[in-house]
Chain A
Amino acid sequence: MRFWLKYVLIGLGIRLVLAPFFMHAWDIGTVWEASRQFLNGEDVYRYVAERTYMLRQSTGLPLYYHGFAYLPQTLLIFAPFYRLYTLMFPVENSLDLRALEPALPYPQMYVFLLLIKMPIILGDVVVIYLLSKREPKIGLFYALNPYVLFITAVWGNFDPLVGLFLLASYLCFSERRILSGFLYGLSLIKIYPIVLFPLFMARSLSSWRGLTKFILGLSIASLPAIYYLIVAPYGFLEAMLFQGARQVYGMNMYQAVLSAQGILFQTTITRVATLIFATALLFLTYMVLKERSPMLNSVVVLMLAYMIFAPVTNEQHLAALMPLALLSQRFDRKLCIFPLLFAAFNATYIYFATPIFWTDVALRNLYVVLRGAWAEAVGPYSSYIRYFISLSFAFLAFRNVHSHFQPQMPALDKRFQIIRTALSTVTSGSPSHRAS
């Protein structure tokens, strides 16, 4: 059997085994809700805008409804799989993942989770294939990486799909510019790869033909978004605005701000954070262009800059960088440990096992007991632990950004040169010989 096929099958097998039993109820619920509305011919974005309006009216606070705030291309990816589920279970389709007490019908719940995660799993399979073809070890690393497995098969978030599109866009960039633009356009299903837009544009500027091709591909991928922009601009823009106006949150250095309770205060800090983010991004984009860094390094640096400085960076965002970053020789793979740890103290691992615990009353009671015990044991310290993890990630990522600008053979620090010289003298008696 070919090695890449072996890795693909291993990766696929693990994902298929895990997928039916775990989920992030809210995030899977978002895709479920949007797919259902989309198939019923409802305006997904209008629904989100209306819920936001109601929330604001009832509280007097600048709140957003955390609903579907992604580009419509996402619906075209997920809705067919949800449709397949409704065809399989047309009568007992009583799912409600957004209720305070989620309604999970069994056993079709397992089928639903498997189907709704299928695009992400298939995306991972393609990534494993692409990486294995280039470097078998990297393909295997991606197939077995606990962080990637967690985001794809356990959480069920679609950032790994963003990673696939970015990887494919990068691989096509030199020779198939239209396809590269198209794939980059697809990667914008989550809006944050927009930080790479100036880089792609600048790198395409070498020839007008290349630039035109890239923009053409990007435009084709953006047709669903353009459609919504024309047909239902208010709801669409309102939902998109959410991603840009969210208060600071997530695994980043702004974590301490969350201890200062209050959305109005956090909104003010978010403006400052956005300014910091924009400044850092501009500076780093300028640097990678000025230094003529290789495309791969440049993409990794800018995506890492997003992870470090953006006001909202969630655990799953690194998954969008992983496929590309693994091709980079300078990417620090230890970075993927931190989001995995962060999730334990944020949503908590037990939350992801809701589909298992909801199967019967005894298990459900056990879920309540376990969550209570975890909250009692860790709850008072969890914000500090989250901050600790966030800082660890921020500093390590920042160091990694630096390493992308450093020469491959940096000069030794003076005092280490002295130590090395001394050691050489002791071992060989000829320091100049060793040094040469």
Chain B
Amino acid sequence: MPGKSLVRREMRTLVDVLFVVLVVSLSFTPFICPGGWDGYTSGTFVYQDETCYIRYSDETLGIDKPHIFSREGWPIKSLVDMVELSDCQSFVNGLNLYEDFESHGQLMDDGLIIFYTGSPQVTKSITVTDEGVIVRYESDQRVELRLTLWRWYFSSVEGNDYRGVLPPLKVEPKKTLNFQFMDGGRTHGGVIQLSDRPLSVEVCRDLNGLNKIIIDYVGSHLSIKIALDDASRSPLRIADRDLLYPLMSLVFGLVYLWARKYEVLVKIRPNRTRH
């Protein structure tokens, strides 16, 4: 029955096309990911929106507490690594936030809150506003707080690259600190805005450049607002790595349809089972 055979063949082609459409459609799902806070199995948290991406690692890691990225570029935005707060290098009354405290994060209505169990009690909250990312440290008592912000590398802090300056590289303690850095071949500017005047600010360097800013503060409450200076212009980018998923699925789909169209024989091994 040639008619029936033709119908079956058309049916198979339709099923093939539907399958390819399904696979290709699924590959676009990363692009429809809604903004806001979300989490991972291990207790890692992420925040993403049109302008910002934040990663907060789980309690087994002392780094990325949080790691702040900015989204820049047109027509496709890519991530600009801004700065990272490290619990490994942060202290409360001389106690290390990573080694000496147990912590766990929890998503609340307005952001992520980290509870540090120990004495003194400390909480850290991370919220995102139109003006930037706000990291707020609060304690039930007045504490000596030492916070460390990392980046590989800062081009300069407060307009100074500190070349030829002998350590310690002291910065005048004030509420607003400006820093510059290179990413993707371009120079970006960032701002760190503190709620209170710190006790001291120090910049550290390794052989390659400035890599951390240490802020010392005494009090029970400190908030840090971190934002990318909007003075920098977005570059034109024509590709982003996430585009690879749809691209791969499209290529696979087309190759599959092409192969199915010209596939003439089904490989069937000779009947060799005794069952």
Which A positions have Cβ atoms within 8 angstroms of B? 55, 58-61, 63-64, 66, 100, 133-135, 137-138, 171, 247, 253-254, 256-257, 259-265, 269, 276, 327, 329-330, 332, 384, 387-388, 391-392, 394-395, 398-399, 402-403, 405-406, 408, 410-413, 416
Q: Is B271 an interface residue (CB 8 A)?
A: yes
Q: Once the chains bind, are B39 and A134 in contact (CB under 8 Å)?
A: no
Complex interface: chain A residues within 8 A of B268 (CB): 329-330, 403, 408
The smallest C-beta distance from A342 to any residue of chain B, in angstroms, reads 15
A272–B71 Cα distance when bound, in Å, is 29
Q: Once the chains bind, are A134 and B273 in contact (CB under 8 Å)?
A: yes
Complex interface: chain B residues within 8 A of A63 (CB): 39, 41, 43
Complex interface: chain A residues within 8 A of B262 (CB): 413, 416
Known interface pairs A134-B273, A253-B23, A261-B48. Does A410 touch B266 (Cβ–Cβ under 8 Å)?
yes
Q: Once the chains bind, are B264 and A59 in contact (CB under 8 Å)?
A: no
Q: Once the chains bind, are B245 and A262 in contact (CB under 8 Å)?
A: no
A403–B38 Cα distance when bound, in Å, is 42
Q: Is B242 an interface residue (CB 8 A)?
A: yes
Q: Is B19 an interface residue (CB 8 A)?
A: yes
Q: Is B186 an interface residue (CB 8 A)?
A: no
**B40-73 to A contact mask, C-beta < 8 Å, 1/0:** 1101001010000000000010000000000000
Q: Is B34 an interface residue (CB 8 A)?
A: yes
Known interface pairs A134-B274, A395-B256. Does A259 touch B26 (Cβ–Cβ under 8 Å)?
no
The smallest C-beta distance from B51 to any residue of chain A, in angstroms, reads 17
Q: Once the chains bind, are B106 and A395 in contact (CB under 8 Å)?
A: no
Q: Once the chains bind, are A408 and B266 in contact (CB under 8 Å)?
A: yes
Contact among B30, B33, B108, B248 for A384, CB-based, below 8 A: B248
A59–B45 Cα distance when bound, in Å, is 9
Q: Is B14 an interface residue (CB 8 A)?
A: no
The smallest C-beta distance from B81 to any residue of chain A, in angstroms, reads 14
Contact among A66, A247, A254, A329 for B26, CB-based, below 8 A: A254
Q: Is B129 an interface residue (CB 8 A)?
A: no
A374–B130 Cα distance when bound, in Å, is 39
Interface of A, secondary structure class, is helix
**B14-42 to A contact mask, C-beta < 8 Å, 1/0:** 01100100110011011011100011110
Q: Once the chains bind, are B269 and A410 in contact (CB under 8 Å)?
A: no
Closest to B272 in A: A135
Known interface pairs A60-B108, A384-B244. Does A257 touch B39 (Cβ–Cβ under 8 Å)?
no
Q: Once the chains bind, are A265 and B34 in contact (CB under 8 Å)?
A: yes
**B241-252 to A contact mask, C-beta < 8 Å, 1/0:** 110110011001
Known interface pairs A276-B22, A410-B265, A416-B264. Does A60 touch B106 (Cβ–Cβ under 8 Å)?
yes
Q: Once the chains bind, are B275 and A327 in contact (CB under 8 Å)?
A: yes
Q: Once the chains bind, are B242 and A265 in contact (CB under 8 Å)?
A: no
A398–B23 Cα distance when bound, in Å, is 12
Q: For chain B residues 181-229, which have a beta carbon within 8 Å of chain A? A: none
Complex interface: chain A residues within 8 A of B174 (CB): none
Closest to B241 in A: A384
Q: Once the chains bind, are B271 and A329 in contact (CB under 8 Å)?
A: yes
Closest to A327 in B: B273
Closest to B40 in A: A263
Contact among A55, A391, A399 for B260, CB-based, below 8 A: A399
Contact among B26, B106, B266 for A253, CB-based, below 8 A: B26
Complex interface: chain A residues within 8 A of B260 (CB): 399, 402
How many contacting A-B pairs (Cβ < 8 A)? Answer: 135
The smallest C-beta distance from A435 to any residue of chain B, in angstroms, reads 15
Q: Which of A257, A262, A412 has the most chain B CB atoms inside 10 A of its CB? A: A262
The smallest C-beta distance from B119 to any residue of chain A, in angstroms, reads 20
Q: Once the chains bind, are B269 and A262 in contact (CB under 8 Å)?
A: no
Q: Once the chains bind, are A256 and B264 in contact (CB under 8 Å)?
A: no
A408–B245 Cα distance when bound, in Å, is 36
- In the complex, 28 of the A-B residue pairs with CB atoms within 8 angstroms, ordered by the A residue number, are A58-B106, A59-B43, A59-B106, A63-B39, A63-B41, A66-B41, A133-B274, A134-B273, A256-B30, A259-B242, A261-B33, A262-B38, A263-B38, A263-B39, A263-B41, A264-B39, A265-B33, A265-B34, A276-B22, A327-B273, A327-B275, A329-B272, A384-B241, A391-B249, A398-B256, A399-B263, A403-B267, A412-B265
Q: Is B132 an interface residue (CB 8 A)?
A: no
A384–B33 Cα distance when bound, in Å, is 18
Q: Once the chains bind, are A402 and B38 in contact (CB under 8 Å)?
A: no
A64–B242 Cα distance when bound, in Å, is 28
A416–B33 Cα distance when bound, in Å, is 46
Additional A-B contacts beyond A60-B107, A260-B32, A388-B248 (12; CB < 8 A): A59-B105, A59-B107, A60-B108, A133-B274, A135-B274, A137-B272, A253-B249, A256-B29, A259-B245, A276-B22, A384-B244, A410-B264
Q: Once the chains bind, are B107 and A391 in contact (CB under 8 Å)?
A: no
Known interface pairs A134-B273, A135-B272. Does A391 touch B30 (Cβ–Cβ under 8 Å)?
no
Complex interface: chain A residues within 8 A of B252 (CB): 391-392, 395
Q: Is B104 an interface residue (CB 8 A)?
A: yes
A256–B60 Cα distance when bound, in Å, is 26
Complex interface: chain A residues within 8 A of B104 (CB): 58-59
Q: Is B142 an interface residue (CB 8 A)?
A: no
Q: Once the chains bind, are B256 and A256 in contact (CB under 8 Å)?
A: no
Complex interface: chain A residues within 8 A of B12 (CB): 402, 405
A410–B272 Cα distance when bound, in Å, is 21
Complex interface: chain A residues within 8 A of B270 (CB): 329
A261–B57 Cα distance when bound, in Å, is 13
The smallest C-beta distance from B71 to any residue of chain A, in angstroms, reads 14
Q: Once the chains bind, are A256 and B38 in contact (CB under 8 Å)?
A: no
A259–B79 Cα distance when bound, in Å, is 14
Closest to A333 in B: B269
A61–B259 Cα distance when bound, in Å, is 44
A387–B274 Cα distance when bound, in Å, is 39
Known interface pairs A135-B273, A263-B40. Does A257 touch B30 (Cβ–Cβ under 8 Å)?
yes
A234–B245 Cα distance when bound, in Å, is 40
The smallest C-beta distance from B7 to any residue of chain A, in angstroms, reads 13
Known interface pairs A171-B275, A261-B40, A403-B266. Does A394 touch B23 (Cβ–Cβ under 8 Å)?
yes
